[in-house]
Amino acid sequence: MSVLGEYERHCDSLNSDFGSESGGGGDSGPGPSAGPVPRASGGAAEQEELHYIPIRVLGRGAFGEATLYRRTEDDSLVVWKEVDLTRLSEKERRDALNEIVILALLQHDNIIAYYNHFMDNTTLLIELEYCNGGNLYDKILRQKDKLFEEEMVVWYLFQIVSAVSCIHKAGILHRDIKTLNIFLTKANLIKLGDYGLAKKLNSEYSMAETLVGTPYYMSPELCQGVKYNFKSDIWAVGCVIFELLTLKRTFDATNPLNLCVKIVQGIRAMEVDSSQYSLELIQMVHACLDQDPEQRPTADELLDRPLLRKRRREMEEKVTLLNAPTKRPRSSTVTEAPIAVVTSRTSEVYVWGGGKSTPQKLDVIKSGCSARQVCAGNTHFAVVTVEKELYTWVNMQGGTKLHGQLGHGDKASYRQPKHVEKLQGKAIRQVSCGDDFTVCVTDEGQLYAFGSDYYGCMGVDKVAGAEVLEPMQLDFFLSNPVEQVSCGDNHVVVLTRNKEVYSWGCGEYGRLGLDSEEDYYTPQKVDVPKALIIVAVQCGSGGGREDDDSQQESETPDPSGGFRGTMEADRGMEGLVSPTEAMRISSGASSSCPGWLRKELENAEFIPMPDSPSPLSAAFSESEKDTLPYDELQGLKMASEAPLEHKPPAGAWVTELLPLNQD
């Protein structure tokens, strides 16, 4: 299986006339209407180039579209909000510029981050933070009739109010708070966005007069056409939380006039279920929806209410932790406006083997679902997309009993890539496939495993049963985030962000690096020489290896593809060892193979014996002159006749009987 780049095309570079995020309020340079800034001349310092690859269009509006891009410098995903200035009125142009000015002023973990903006002739491109979990409106729709747990509502409430508190302290009135403008990451981190209608007020007591916003979230003072202030945003927050509690709009009507009447009169569509939610939470929502704006609490007063105050520090720490993996620092040292270089590229996934000799393209993994990493096990495949979602499916040959290694909650043989729904909300960075299990790592460094636990590869001391049908988190790494994972056929090795190596699973042949051949069912720390800094780990079918950045000479690999003492099975040949390879291995043996044992080998599945005499059989015949002591022969015979519950990999089996030539 492989990922192929179909083509690559460089588009025209775009010049930023606003500079980096160091700009504040637009004083550091001309606004977007000033037009493109020319490239630096030959005598001036060369401008920084930022490279972007378009992924897919997220949405379209009346004056432009939002497109998802991958920034190649740090492999991060960003959104470009593209605005066609030629289709805007003068006021709408000011609103577009206003959004840049507002976003440049705000820095908060619960507010959509502004990174940059560029001009391409008459198109304004605003580079913003990407939220991979959609928006709150869609989240509520997906609930259908299942109410949110109160803990989740409080978590959302805290984040929304924290964001509103930040913008109000900056003297900014949002004026368009609604579920469509509240975005989510897959880790349920809230991001308040869309500041096109925001307005900066000079003081807490300043009032605005323009009729703007979304009708369903308009405050009574807006409906009546009187002056309004920050308390109008608090009303909108109340409407949003009411929707979270009821899954219905707070006020609803068949036409705008009736809607305004209901808002002014306080006729809500329904009431909150007091048997489902606490009185304290319901009272907070009602306080936000007070008809008198003076009676509504401020954002800071909401944060100081007992329901939020008692958990405020805990939730603040959680927000910081969840935001850390994707947070990009704002630059304050850039003197030249960067240039954006857009590269058009597509990626496609091809698979072959398992009875298919010609590579076949997977139509499921394409376009907006482009692959960033692929992995193949003996029985299944896995792909991580650019949007950090995990897809798994079985190989095309099929017929193999599954043990939950696809992670879909059952043992069905899905023959087309299927999204692992149980990992919804988790940003998957990397995946690795074992023989009949799968392990993946999230952006936060947390580890999830699913599939067979025959050798303890789930890492939970076999407490989850013989088969784990859906992703299970390994709590062992909660306080020690994982950087990379690699799976052999029946063992796992991980590298943590602290550059520590852990391994577990089948310990046969010393593949765990723990100075024993014992099996371990929980992660065990591997002793690494202090002089080495491990930068990567990799498992073969019978053993693992570590790459370090020291200048010491690395261990000499065996010609078979692994280290000495370990022979990896060729998965493309279904794990069979060729006669030539078997002859090379047997020629280094110090003793012959008895006739009864040779017969066992001839009937074994892992060695295809030829119909006619060959150099292989000749090699066995010539070595029959030397025989093993009687007691050793009897031991081997008894071992061969004993039933095997679980056969080791083909390569490891042959290596056990016929040691590798050490010369």
Cβ proximity of 182 and 174 under 8 Å: no
What beta strand segments (E) does 72-220 contain? 76-84, 114-120, 123-129, 172-173, 182-184, 190-192, 199-200
CB atoms within 10 A of CB 532: 15
DSSP letters for 508-561: GGGTTSSSS---EEEEEEPP--TT--EEEEEE-SS-EEEEE-SSSPPPPBPTTS
Residues listed for the chain: 663
Cβ proximity of 4 and 371 under 8 Å: no
Among 292, 504, 359, 503, CA closest to 2: 359
Among 96, 94, 116, 121, CA closest to 47: 116
Write down the catalytic residue from 17, 109, 176, 489.
Answer: 176
Q: How far apart are CA 265 and CA 257, in angstroms?
A: 12
Helix (H, G, I), strand (E, B) or coil at 452: strand
CB atoms within 10 A of CB 651: 26
- C-alpha Rg value of the chain to the nearest Å: 31
| Pair type for strands 339-353 and 14-15 | antiparallel
- What are the structure tokens assigned to 603, written together? 């009937």
Q: How far apart are CA 488 and CA 510, in angstroms?
A: 13
Question: b/e map of 333-362 (b: 16 or more CB within 10 Å)?
Answer: ebebbbbbebeebebbbebebbeeeeeeeb
Integer distance in angstroms from the first to the last C-alpha of the chain?
A: 35
- What are the structure tokens assigned to 209, written together? 């007069």
CB atoms within 10 A of CB 154: 22
Q: How far apart are CA 49 and CA 363, in angstroms?
A: 33
- What are the structure tokens assigned to 175, written together? 């004026």
570 noted as active-site residue: no
| Pair type for strands 172-173 and 123-129 | unpaired
Written as one letter, the residue type at 530 is: K
Q: How far apart are CA 351 and CA 374, in angstroms?
A: 10
DSSP letters for 341-398: EEEEEEEEEEEEETTEEEEEE-SSSSGGG-EEEEEE-SSEEEEEETT--EEEEE-SS-
Helix (H, G, I), strand (E, B) or coil at 225: coil
Q: What are phi and psi of 438, to 5 degrees?
A: -140, 140
Cβ proximity of 420 and 390 under 8 Å: yes
What is the set of active-site residues?
Answer: 176
